[in-house]
Amino acid sequence: MKNFKDKVVVITGAGSGMGRAYALAFAALGSRLALNDYDNQGLAETVKQVSQQSPATRVHAQTFDVSKRADMELFAADVKEAIGPAHVIINNAGIEGAGKPVWAIPPQAYERIFQINFFGVLHGTQVFLPQLLENGEGAIVNVSSIFGLIGTPNSTDYSATKFAVRGFSESLMVELMDSPISVHLVHPGGIATNIARAAHTKAFSDNYLTTSPEDIVRHVIKSIGKGRRRIVYGNGALKAHLGALFVPLKLLNRIIWQDMKSVINVSDYPPGG
């Protein structure tokens, strides 16, 4: 897709960060917006900013948890009735991990992050795909991470979900390759959003999350127009991508540990670990 004017763009996790930046960018292009977030206050602020920037933009916003399939189905039906069938779905909603090694993370924490980070993407894709096909054109944009390219310490939960999004999206690309629907897989690097809110991620956030949401959103929208399937962008993204492609895994693991050990919480590791 190259022209987004009057197209219906669905954005999950639109209450802050990249989601809000997507909303403002697509509004400036003349799109109609269907916005979701779990945070009602954040979502309301996004709607306010969109209306201030682009007063003519038609916006439909609903607050719900993307892990709830029934709520996503209701959202899709309401979007179609309110502003028309979707042309673009940006599966952006996500949460951070526990920031601990695998032995210190309870099973229910893995279940919860998978419900949001992976099943939220699955629900958004399956529920809105019929609307994209109905329009005879469309784009599915699934947000993974550079942690979906490489594994890092204290992120077995988060990284597992982002590798899952990657595998799902790459398979989906093959399934839809002869359709009018394009699939785009985004691997953001260190983007300055509030996903890293917990105290244990402050050092990581201060050192790595430096690329603005507006920068990556501009890049993603251009990449959709150019038909790029894999979109790697942001602080550290190219290094991670090249490392995953060309560096032997044993050496890559050592490099990653040396790079990360000063910005992660190592309190759960044994002495000398």
Alpha helices in 136-155 (DSSP H): none
CB burial of residue 94 (10 Å; 0-12, 13-18, 19+): buried
Q: What is the rounded CA–CA span in Å between residue 243 and residue 254?
A: 12
- With vertex at residue 181, the alpha carbon angle to CA 175 and CA 187, rounded to the nearest 5 degrees, is 80
Minimal CA–CA distance to 263: which of 206, 200, 203? 203
- Cα–Cα distances (Å) from 134 to 6, 26, 130, in that order, read 16, 21, 6
Q: What is the rounded CA–CA span in Å between residue 182 and residue 13?
A: 21
List the catalytic residue out of 110, 158, 208, 233: 158
Q: What is the rounded CA–CA span in Å between residue 248 and residue 28?
A: 44
Give a three-class secondary structure readout of 155-189: CHHHHHHHHHHHHHHHHHHHHCCCCCEEEEEEEEC
Q: Is 269 among the residues known to form the active site?
A: no
Which pair of tokens denotes residue 37? Answer: 């977030």
CB 210 within 8 A of CB 192: yes
- Cα–Cα distances (Å) from 105 to 109, 117, 202, 245, 265, in that order, read 7, 17, 19, 29, 13
Q: What is the rounded CA–CA span in Å between residue 167 and residue 269?
A: 30
Report, as residue numbers or ranges, the catalytic residues: 158
